[in-house]
Structure 1
């Protein structure tokens, strides 16, 4: 599902909302999640999952074409861990 498909689906489920308002709501949610992660905060959506960040330390890697060693800088990556309800639903378990 793409962001535009999500906006369309939410709009269909809430016909009293204007399309532009649904776009703003979805955009605001994504922006807040991004901002929180950039601050180093964890974002937990109960039943769905939790977004957090992980740090990968600097290391020495190899260029796969030439085999030369390359230094890879330290980086921060987003990480998502599924919640219990989502995991159970994906595995066919319903409560």
Structure 2
């Protein structure tokens, strides 16, 4: 019976470590984006929608504004490798 608990604990610790690494990676990416205004350069290898692109980058559209060729895009906007895509964080505040 003790071995079962040992394996369960190892399993949960392994999951916790994986989750922590993923969370730290996201924090680093968001921090870089906020500091530089640039998340990363990405060129899609095939036509897709903005929604597909955000899924590939593991980003939620509610946190970012997307420009395609200088124009505001919605999640259904189609993009291709020739398009210029800018991903910006939503900014709130002001008086």
Query: TM-score if structure 1 supplies the norm length?
Result: 0.30
| Structure with greater proportional strand content | 1
Using CA pairs below 8 Å that are at least 6 residues apart, which structure has the higher relative contact order?
A: 2
| Structure with greater proportional helix content | 2
